[in-house]
Amino acid sequence: MGAPYEEFTHLETGRLLLRPFTEDDLPLILQISSDPQTTEYLYYWGRIGTTPASDARRFLDYALKNWQKTPIRAREFCLVEKSAGVCIGDGSVEWVEGQPGTAEIGWILLPAFRGRGYATEAGRELMRAAFEIMGADTVIAHCDSRNTPSRRVMERLGMTLRQTEPEARPAKRVGERNGDECTYARSREAWAREESEK
């Protein structure tokens, strides 16, 4: 784990509020888990033998339990579009087990809100929190190698491809090949250099 940091529960950008999930957010999560386009490349969603309802319940239980821990190691945020007050997806930042000083960020958006820069906006704020509040030395993000939109977001965040692990992501259909997993990373030094040039 990085340096000691102040616990935080909310983040905010120009267009987004990132807040903890509550039980009232189950319908949003069910929307995510029920959309095959959304779950196609997500690691824990839509696996063989699961259902949208079981995925949604598992995720919400995980999110709620993590917010109750001290210290908090994993934060799952509900992304709220401020002007309309609507929930549009999930954003996360967490310490990586077995990799001291490394935090992982991630995001999921409902289809109607993709292509508007929200993922990059949320990802940049999550990265800022990891470096500036949590004290991380490195921030990473994972995605299926076929998930081109997520890879582009990671690149826009200044992350570079660290490795590709063959068949590390479970297949979603019987007989289908497992997906390859890409890991992107950015260092604290690279982040600080960019911030100083603004």
Q: Over 3-44, what HEC string results?
A: CCCCCCCCEECCCEEEEECCHHHHHHHHHHHCCHHHHCCCCC
188 occurs within a structural domain: yes
| pLDDT for res 46 | 84
2 occurs within a structural domain: no
192 occurs within a structural domain: yes
Q: What is the pLDDT along the chain (198 residues), one digit of tens a residue?
A: 444 445 799 999 999 999 999 999 999 999 999 999 899 999 888 888 889 999 999 999 999 999 998 888 999 999 999 999 999 999 999 999 999 999 999 999 999 999 999 999 999 999 999 999 999 999 999 999 999 999 999 999 999 999 999 999 988 888 889 999 999 999 999 999 998 987
38 occurs within a structural domain: yes
CATH number reported for the structural domain that contains residue 168 in this entry: 3.40.630.30
98 occurs within a structural domain: yes
Measured in degrees and rounded to the nearest 5, phi and psi for residue 36 equal -60, -35
5 occurs within a structural domain: no
Measured in degrees and rounded to the nearest 5, phi and psi for residue 126 equal -65, -40
| pLDDT for res 6 | 57
Dist. CA 8–CA 18, nearest whole Å: 11
4 occurs within a structural domain: no
Dist. CA 146–CA 179, nearest whole Å: 8
Residue type, 22: T
pTM given for the model: 0.93
- Domain that residue 191 falls in: 11-196
107 occurs within a structural domain: yes
Query: What is the total count of domains within the chain?
Result: 1
